[in-house]
């Protein structure tokens, strides 16, 4: 069976009365060599509800610890991640088939994010004191407090098993929420190891757990929590949002992308080509923000394509080990390999040429060759739909205007990049329709947690990182506190003629912006 698939199995029971009722299990495989690593039981909807109820019962105490108290425990998680990174990386590398170099950024990203939100939370979600805008409210004290959604459910994909699960749990926990995570059925093991460590090695409060399973398990999580953070395909994102609508549960959706790179003629072409090779092939192109399509101003086209092809040709691919390190790893999900193969086949059949790569490599293991396609256009899937594999399509363009028109000709709008002379590149970058854009770099915006990152168009709803990345896990509560007041306000009962007239005249005097109206006269 393929990784992440579900099988019917029977489990022996202890009393010798025969097999237990059939239980669904997921199989986890190593995509680098196809070996079965383990199988895990799928949590039933009842088990999901029980897990959510358990952490919900502990959430109030967690919230009451305050920002510093919660940072204390998250700091312990940071230390554990740094001390145990090799162990976690071994697990993740096995279940994803990544090369080690692509996996290493996960624990360090999480450690940095814990420090970021731990030190900024008071600024981002601390109580706010607001000055009343009108003298009519002078007797009131106005405050805004940010209270967490009690239980946040996180549904995550397989491409970065920890960054896209624990990475969202960090701001949610720092905000005071309890968290239950449903990881991808393809890559459940690294996350489970971290959650087990939180419970048993760190001894953290019982406000973080995970439930293993498939799509339906994710659906059960949606039914039980107060906020859903979903990362995955736009196809599943729509289903999650529709299901959340049944209980009016708010959602934040981080979905797919088809990120453009624009290369202007005055770019440093070595830097641009090296960036395109890394930004397109890193993690075998299985990144929502991968460089997927490249538009190059005509005068630089030939040289850029030459440099890019040379760089991609040098990449070493295959099972990665200390003694035999590689640059490009396996495809983690067999479903995704099929999509990549379909996009490349469609492009080649419609007149595209592969300057390097172009096909799936026969097993064991699931690998697709790093591929550079030219003679492509927007009628082809590879330039329109999310490929999510080690494939880039390159097109020449007349000028920056044509590059922008093509870059923006997409239903997606996650992120992108522009290479060129600094000021010109920045001017062009400001006009790309997406949630985050890099000038003379690629992918790096994900590590600038200071600024929000979220998709425009069909790439998502909501933001991670920055202030919105923690505020979204909170509900706003406004407090309007009376500092002093008479036994009766002029607006209260009884509605006598005199009092009603007086209130109207006072309100007019405060709201009018010219003397005549202030005095109650018509303008």
- Provide the annotated active-site residues: 254, 288
Does position 233 interact with ligand NAD (CB under 6 A)? The reply is yes
Distance CA 82, CA 88 (A): 10
User: 392 — phi, psi (to 5°)?
Assistant: -125, 145
415 binds ligand NAD (CB under 6 A): no
Rule CB under 6 A: is residue 219 a binding residue for ligand NAD? yes
By beta-carbon proximity to ligand NAD, the closer residue of 107 and 232 is: 232
Per CB under 6 A, which of residues 330..359 are in contact with ligand NAD? Answer: 333
Cis link prior to 413 (omega < 30° from 0)? no
Q: 189-196 and 85-96 are packed helices; what angle lies between their axes, rounded to 10 degrees?
A: 150
Q: How far apart are CA 123 and CA 443, in angstroms?
A: 27
- Give the integer Cα–Cα distance in Å for 314 and 319: 16
Buried b / exposed e over 207-224, threshold 16 CB at 10 Å, is bbbbbbbbeebbbbbbbb
Least CB distance to ligand NAD at residue 216 (A): 7
Residue whose Cβ sits closest to ligand NAD:
218
According to CB under 6 A, which one of 97, 157, 167, 390 is a site residue for ligand NAD? 157
Q: Contact with ligand NAD (CB under 6 A): which of 256, 260, 329, 389? A: 256
- State in angstroms the smallest separation of the CB of 252 from ligand NAD: 10
Residue closer to ligand NAD, measured from CB, 153 or 205: 153
User: Which one, 92 or 273, has the nearer CB to ligand NAD?
Assistant: 92
Spell out a b/e string for 3-29, using b for 16 or more CB atoms within 10 Å of the CB, else e: bbbbeeeeeeeeeeeeeeeeebbbbbb
| Residue 351, SS3 per DSSP | coil
> What are the residues whose beta carbons fall under 8 Å from the beta carbon of 204, sequence distance 6 or more?
73, 76, 77, 198
SS3 assignment, position 354: strand
Stretch that binds ligand NAD, among 84-92, 133-141, 158-166, 425-433 (CB under 6 A): 158-166
Distance of closest approach, residue 304 Cβ to ligand NAD, in angstroms: 26
CB of 165 to ligand NAD, least distance (A): 9
How many residues of this chain interact with ligand NAD, rule: CB under 6 A? 30
Do residues 165 and 192 lie in contact, with contact meaning Cβ atoms separated by under 8 Å? no
**What are the strands of the beta sheet with 208-210, ordered from one edge?**
208-210, 178-182, 151-155, 227-231, 251-254, 460-461
Cis amide bond preceding 82, omega within 30: no
CB-CB contact of 334 with 29 (8 Å): no
Cβ closer to ligand NAD: 426 or 467? 467
Nearest to 477 by CA among 249, 144, 142: 144
Region from 16-24, 101-109, 149-157, 258-266 binding ligand NAD, contact rule CB under 6 A = 149-157
Listed ranges 10-18, 128-136, 182-190, 372-380: which one lies at the site for ligand NAD (CB under 6 A): 182-190
Structure tokens at 261: 């790179």
Site residues for ligand NAD, 355-394, by CB under 6 A, read 386, 388
Which residues between 261 and 320 bind ligand NAD (CB under 6 A)?
Answer: 288
Binding of ligand NAD by 455 (CB under 6 A): yes
Q: Report the residue from 52, 191, 207, 240 that binds ligand NAD according to the rule CB under 6 A.
A: 240
Q: Does 71 bind ligand NAD (CB under 6 A)?
A: no
Stretch that binds ligand NAD, among 32-40, 145-153, 180-188, 196-204 (CB under 6 A): 180-188
Of 103, 155, 197, 376, the one binding ligand NAD by CB under 6 A: 155
To the nearest whole angstrom, how small is the minimum distance from the Cβ of residue 392 to ligand NAD? 16
Least distance CB 4 / ligand NAD (angstroms): 8
Other residues' Cβ atoms within 10 Å of the Cβ of residue 193: 17
Q: Is 414 one of the binding residues for ligand NAD (CB under 6 A)?
A: yes
Q: Please say which residue, 267 or 331, places its beta carbon nearer to ligand NAD.
A: 331
Helix then strand count (H, E) for the chain reads 18, 23
Please, what is the minimum distance in Å from the beta carbon of residue 328 to ligand NAD? Answer: 18
Q: Give me the sign of the Cα torsion angle 331, 334, 340, 344.
A: positive
Q: Are 336 and 360 in contact (CB under 8 A)?
A: no
Residue 292 makes CB contacts below 8 A (sequence gap 6+) with 257, 258, 259, 260, 280, 285, 386, 387, 391, 392, 393
Pick the piece of the chain touching ligand NAD (CB under 6 A) from 53-61, 151-159, 391-399, 495-503. 151-159
Site for ligand NAD in 188-217 (CB under 6 A): 214-215
Answer for which of 113, 114, 164, 328 binds ligand NAD (CB under 6 A) is 164
Q: Which of 239, 424, 427, 431 binds ligand NAD (CB under 6 A)?
A: 239
Q: How far is the CB of 255 from ligand NAD (least distance, A)?
A: 5
Q: Which stretch binds ligand NAD (CB under 6 A): 114-122, 140-148, 253-261, 322-330?
A: 253-261
- Is the CB of 158 or the CB of 473 nearer to ligand NAD? 158
Those residues with Cβ within 8 angstroms of residue 254's Cβ, 6 or more apart along the chain or in another chain: 164, 229, 230, 231, 232, 288, 454, 455, 460, 462, 464
**Which listed range, 11-19, 58-66, 231-239, 494-502, lies at the site for ligand NAD (CB under 6 A)?**
231-239
Q: Which stretches within 358-419 are classed as H helix?
A: 381-384, 400-407
CB 52 within 8 A of CB 181: no
Q: Does 236 bind ligand NAD (CB under 6 A)?
A: yes
Beta carbons of 292 and 386 less than 8 angstroms apart: yes
**Residue whose CB is less far from ligand NAD, 388 or 419:** 388
Q: Could you list the residues that contact ligand NAD (CB under 6 A)? A: 155-159, 164, 182, 184-185, 214-215, 218-219, 231-233, 236, 239-240, 254-257, 288, 333, 386, 388, 414, 455, 460
């Amino acid at each position: 069976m393929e990784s992440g698939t579900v099988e019917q199995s029977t489990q022996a029971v202890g009393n010798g009365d025969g097999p237990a009722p059939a239980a669904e299990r997921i199989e986890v495989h190593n995509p680098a060599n196809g070996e079965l690593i383990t199988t895990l039981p799928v949590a039933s909807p009842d088990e999901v509800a029980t897990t959510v109820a358990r952490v919900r019962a502990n959430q109030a105490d967690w919230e009451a610890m305050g920002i510093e108290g919660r940072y204390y425990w998250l700091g312990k998680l940071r230390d554990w991640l740094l001390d145990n990174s090799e162990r976690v990386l071994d697990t993740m590398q096995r279940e994803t088939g990544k090369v080690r170099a692509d996996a290493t950024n996960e624990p360090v990203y999480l450690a940095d994010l814990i420090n970021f939100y731990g030190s900024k939370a008071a600024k981002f979600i601390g109580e706010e004191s607001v000055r009343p805008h009108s003298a009519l409210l002078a007797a009131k004290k106005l405050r805004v407090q940010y209270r967490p959604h009690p239980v946040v459910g996180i549904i995550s994909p397989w491409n970065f098993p920890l960054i896209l699960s624990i990475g969202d749990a960090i701001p949610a926990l720092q905000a005071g929420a309890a968290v239950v995570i449903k990881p991808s059925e393809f890559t459940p093991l690294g996350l489970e190891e971290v959650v087990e460590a939180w419970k048993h090695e760190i001894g953290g409060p019982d406000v973080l757990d995970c439930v293993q399973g498939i799509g339906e398990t994710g659906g059960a999580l949606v039914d039980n929590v107060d906020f859903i953070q979903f990362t995955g395909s736009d196809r599943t994102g729509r289903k999650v949002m529709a299901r959340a609508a049944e209980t009016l549960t708010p959602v934040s959706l981080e979905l797919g992308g088809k990120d453009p790179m624009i290369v202007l003629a005055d770019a440093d072409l070595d830097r641009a080509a090296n960036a395109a090779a890394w930004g397109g092939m890193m993690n075998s192109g299985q990144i929502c923000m991968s460089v997927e399509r490249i538009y190059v101003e005509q005068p630089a086209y030939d040289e850029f394509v030459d440099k890019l092809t040379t760089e991609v040709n040098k990449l070493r691919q295959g099972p990665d080990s200390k003694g035999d390190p590689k640059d490009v790893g396996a495809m983690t999900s067999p479903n995704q390999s099929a999509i990549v193969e379909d996009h490349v086949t469609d492009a080649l059949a419609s007149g595209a040429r592969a300057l390097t790569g172009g096909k799936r490599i026969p097993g064991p293991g699931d690998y697709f060759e790093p591929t550079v396609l030219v003679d492509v256009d927007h009628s082809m899937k590879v330039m329109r739909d999310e490929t999510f594999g080690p494939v880039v399509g390159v097109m020449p363009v007349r000028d920056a205007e044509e590059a922008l028109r093509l870059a923006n000709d997409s239903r997606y709008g996650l992120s992108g990049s522009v290479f060129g002379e600094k000021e010109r590149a920045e001017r062009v970058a400001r006009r790309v329709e997406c949630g985050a854009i890099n000038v003379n770099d690629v992918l790096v915006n994900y590590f600038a947690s200071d600024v929000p990152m979220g998709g425009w168009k069909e790439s998502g709803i909501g933001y991670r990182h920055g202030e919105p990345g923690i505020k979204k896990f909170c509900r706003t509560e406004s407090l309007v506190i009376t500092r002093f007041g008479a036994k009766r306000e002029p607006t209260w009962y009884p509605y006598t003629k005199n009092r009603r007239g007086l209130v109207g005249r006072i309100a007019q005097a405060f709201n009018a912006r010219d003397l005549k109206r202030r005095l109650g006269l018509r303008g």
